[in-house]
């Protein structure tokens, strides 16, 4: 086999390969002989057709398969011999394919860049420092109480914060709409759960009262007959309920999975969860700064094949988040060009660090990540077994653990300064609702869901 390599600019290479005609002919002959042992042809017993007949009927097909296989295998041998590292599959350009000629072709492809990782000492990091105080625990428990409000029927008129329970009938042009009636709708006034006209129509209502209003349904309304339509609604008010917070008692503890130990154990469990969240936020802040530092201090030429691969993955991820199933409706690739370049570059730099530092996957980190991941499931042990049996999921965990090791290696050599924060400042607690089961994101597409609280929870029905 003859091989020649030429640099066609940047990271692209042209690899010309010649496979001797003798080798091609030998492989074709061997496959035809093998085929003759099993072929079923009319007029011959199975496996008894003469080789000449087999050749006449299947020769062109077998030769085409042999050429394809030889191009694939010879390309792999050639790049190995030339110590090339392709960044993606080659574009094959046939040169000679005739039956009495050597097999000659050219392969065009990109190679991975040679990377010398800059010293991490040039990277500056700010490490957030915070602790969970007793006041933070108090605030979290109050937030948990707010998530499980108690509604008690009252005789007064409805006001903001009250829950109003009602039935309604919808009419358009004076005609009742099929499936346009709802029973026992529960709507918290002032929560922005429903159409403004409906909230305004329920303000000041009393149990037993009937009201008629006109409202325009949103275009996204699940009832297609009502979507975007302006309708007359006849409301029958069934109850006005005042909102209050639940008592911090045994029932409240059980609702969050604390069966024994009372308030002390509840506070300890809340603190543990908050400390996990805090640790995760700090870890993610450090990670983001390390990745930014690596990207900034290691400018490299990126193979187009790797960028295209990342663009496609980002498109798929976006489609999944948006619920898009039709490939024709995918977001345009141009939107993901820059983040794709960044992802591809960081992937190359991190891989080089793993190789140069001879980093091996820390199995203890993988176990710790798995334990953290499954503890939010109703049956952690069952979830753990499911993950262990899923090779793709375990590879993701191993990749995440190895990346953590790279982050630690960089952070250990970077210039680090500490900056104090409060729990609220770091986690944003108070800006959005959290419960004690909330877990930070893992930055790696590991999708999992926290288990629901034990016991029955009063469910509010969203307004129409």
Average pLDDT over residues 266-273: 93
Q: Are residues 287 and 402 in the same domain?
A: yes
- Interatomic CA distance for residues 11 and 370, integer angstroms: 39
Q: Please report whether residue 438 resides in a domain.
A: no
446: pLDDT strictly greater than 70: no
Structure tokens at 238: 């069934």
454: pLDDT strictly greater than 50: no
- Interatomic CA distance for residues 21 and 180, integer angstroms: 78
154: pLDDT strictly greater than 70: yes
Q: Are residues 20 and 133 in the same domain?
A: no
Smallest CA-to-CA distance from 1 within 12, 446, 15 is with 15
- Interatomic CA distance for residues 318 and 316, integer angstroms: 5
430: pLDDT strictly greater than 80: no
Average pLDDT over residues 7-15: 94
pLDDT value of residue 300: 95
Q: Report how many domains make up the chain.
A: 3
Long-range contacts (CB closer than 8 Å, 24 or more residues apart) made by 91-97: 95/16, 97/67
Q: How confident is the model at residue 394 (pLDDT cuts 50, 70, 90)?
A: very high
| pLDDT digits 0-9 by tens, 77-94 | 999 999 999 999 999 999
C-alpha to C-alpha distances, 430 to 63, 136, 150, 263, 417, nearest whole angstrom: 71, 10, 21, 22, 27
**What percent of the chain lies above the pLDDT cut of 90?**
66
Strands (E), 143-217: 150-154, 163-172, 175-188, 210-216
pLDDT value of residue 191: 86
Smallest CA-to-CA distance from 333 within 319, 315, 346, 347 is with 315
Angle (deg, nearest 10), helices 363-374 and 391-411:
120
- Interatomic CA distance for residues 260 and 307, integer angstroms: 54
Among the three residues 244, 269, 292, which one is the final residue of a domain in this structure? 244
Q: How confident is the model at residue 431 (pLDDT cuts 50, 70, 90)?
A: low
Q: Are residues 321 and 419 in the same domain?
A: yes
Q: Please report whether residue 183 resides in a domain.
A: yes
457: pLDDT strictly greater than 70: no
Backbone CA torsion sign across 350, 355, 356, 358: positive
C-alpha to C-alpha distances, 26 to 55, 100, 133, 366, 417, nearest whole angstrom: 13, 12, 79, 50, 68
- Interatomic CA distance for residues 375 and 367, integer angstroms: 12
Question: CB of 241 within 8 A of CB of 159?
Answer: no
Domain residues for the domain of 336 are 120-139+258-427
Q: Is 301 helix (H, G, I), strand (E, B) or coil?
A: coil
Q: Are residues 48 and 169 in the same domain?
A: no
Q: Please report whether residue 253 resides in a domain.
A: no
| pLDDT digits 0-9 by tens, 42-91 | 878 777 788 888 888 888 899 999 999 999 999 999 999 999 999 999 99
C-alpha to C-alpha distances, 299 to 113, 118, 122, 302, 307, nearest whole angstrom: 11, 10, 14, 9, 15
Q: Please report whether residue 416 resides in a domain.
A: yes
C-alpha to C-alpha distances, 176 to 169, 225, 234, 236, nearest whole angstrom: 7, 11, 11, 16
Angle (deg, nearest 10), helices 51-81 and 21-36:
130
Q: Please report whether residue 361 resides in a domain.
A: yes
pLDDT value of residue 41: 83
417: pLDDT strictly greater than 70: yes
pLDDT higher at 49 or 116: 116
**What percent of the chain lies above the pLDDT cut of 70?**
92
Q: Please report whether residue 145 resides in a domain.
A: no
C-alpha to C-alpha distances, 382 to 192, 266, 387, 448, nearest whole angstrom: 39, 25, 9, 14
Rg of the Cα atoms in the chain? 33
Question: CB of 187 within 8 A of CB of 198?
Answer: yes
Give me the CATH number covering residue 208. 3.10.50.40
Question: CB of 252 within 8 A of CB of 239?
Answer: no
- Interatomic CA distance for residues 271 and 277, integer angstroms: 10
Q: Please report whether residue 403 resides in a domain.
A: yes
Structure tokens at 232: 């007359």
pLDDT value of residue 178: 78
| CA distance from start to end of the chain | 74
Q: Are residues 293 and 383 in the same domain?
A: yes
pLDDT value of residue 34: 87
C-alpha to C-alpha distances, 13 to 111, 210, 270, 341, nearest whole angstrom: 7, 79, 58, 21
Q: Are residues 75 and 128 in the same domain?
A: no
Q: Are residues 349 and 297 in the same domain?
A: yes
- The segment with the largest mean pLDDT, out of 130-139, 220-229, 374-383, 428-437, is 130-139
Average pLDDT over residues 378-405: 93
Average pLDDT over residues 22-42: 88
Q: Are residues 271 and 134 in the same domain?
A: yes
Q: Is 105 exposed, middle or buried (0-12, 13-18, 19+ CB in 10 A)?
A: buried
| pLDDT digits 0-9 by tens, 277-330 | 999 999 999 999 999 999 999 999 999 999 999 999 999 899 888 888 887 788
Q: Are residues 51 and 91 in the same domain?
A: yes
Q: Are residues 270 and 321 in the same domain?
A: yes
Q: Are residues 411 and 304 in the same domain?
A: yes
Q: Is 277 helix (H, G, I), strand (E, B) or coil?
A: helix
Give me the CATH number covering residue 35. 3.30.70.1050
Q: Please report whether residue 432 resides in a domain.
A: no
Q: How confident is the model at residue 441 (pLDDT cuts 50, 70, 90)?
A: very low
Give me the CATH number covering residue 285. 1.10.3120.10
Q: Are residues 192 and 239 in the same domain?
A: yes
pLDDT value of residue 447: 34
Q: How confident is the model at residue 37 (pLDDT cuts 50, 70, 90)?
A: confident
432: pLDDT strictly greater than 60: no
Smallest CA-to-CA distance from 53 within 41, 65, 66 is with 41
Phi, psi for residue 322 in degrees, rounded to 5:
-90, -5
Average pLDDT over residues 243-271: 92
């Amino acid at each position: 086999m003859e091989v020649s390599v030429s640099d066609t600019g940047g990271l692209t290479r042209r690899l010309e390969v010649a496979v001797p005609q003798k080798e091609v002919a030998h492989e074709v002959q061997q496959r035809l002989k093998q085929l003759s042992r099993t072929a079923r042809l009319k007029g011959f017993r199975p496996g008894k057709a003469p080789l000449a007949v087999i050749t006449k009927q299947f020769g062109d097909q077998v030769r085409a398969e042999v050429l394809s296989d030889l191009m694939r295998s010879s390309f792999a041998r050639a790049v190995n011999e030339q110590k090339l590292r392709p960044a993606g599959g080659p574009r094959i350009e046939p040169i000679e394919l005739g039956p009495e000629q050597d097999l000659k072709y050219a392969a065009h492809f990109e190679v991975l860049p040679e990377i010398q990782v800059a010293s991490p000492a040039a990277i500056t990091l700010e490490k957030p420092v915070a602790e969970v105080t007793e006041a933070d625990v108090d605030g979290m428990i109050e937030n948990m109480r707010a998530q499980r409000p108690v509604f008690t029927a009252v005789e007064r008129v409805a006001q903001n914060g009250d829950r109003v329970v009602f039935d309604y009938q919808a009419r358009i042009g004076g005609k009742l709409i099929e499936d346009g009636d709802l029973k026992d709708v529960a709507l918290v006034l002032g929560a922005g759960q429903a159409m403004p006209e409906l909230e305004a129509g329920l303000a000041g209502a009393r149990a037993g009262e009937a009201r008629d209003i006109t409202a325009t349904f949103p275009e996204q309304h699940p009832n297609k007959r009502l979507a975007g339509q302006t309708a007359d609604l006849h409301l029958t008010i069934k109850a006005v309920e005042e909102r209050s917070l639940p008592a911090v008692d045994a029932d409240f503890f059980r609702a969050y999975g604390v069966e024994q130990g009372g308030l002390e154990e509840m506070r300890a469990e809340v603190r543990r969860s908050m400390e996990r969240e805090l640790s995760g936020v700090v870890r993610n802040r450090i990670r983001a700064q390390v990745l930014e530092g690596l990207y900034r201090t290691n400018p490299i030429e990126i193979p187009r094949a790797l960028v295209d691969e990342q663009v496609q993955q980002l498109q798929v991820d976006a489609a999944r988040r948006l619920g898009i199933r039709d490939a024709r409706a995918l977001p345009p690739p141009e939107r993901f060009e820059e983040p794709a370049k960044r992802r591809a570059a960081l992937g190359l730099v991190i891989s080089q660090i793993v190789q140069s530092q001879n980093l091996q996957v820390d199995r203890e980190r993988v176990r710790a990540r798995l334990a953290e991941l499954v503890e939010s499931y109703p049956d952690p042990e069952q979830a753990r077994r499911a993950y262990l049996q899923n090779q793709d999921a375990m590879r993701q965990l191993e990749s995440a653990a190895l990346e953590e090791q790279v982050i630690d290696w960089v952070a250990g050599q970077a210039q680090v300064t500490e900056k104090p924060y409060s729990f609220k400042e770091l986690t944003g607690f108070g800006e959005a609702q959290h419960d004690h089961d909330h877990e930070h994101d893992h930055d790696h597409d590991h999708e999992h869901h926290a288990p629901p609280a034990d016991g029955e929870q009063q469910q509010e029905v969203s307004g129409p």
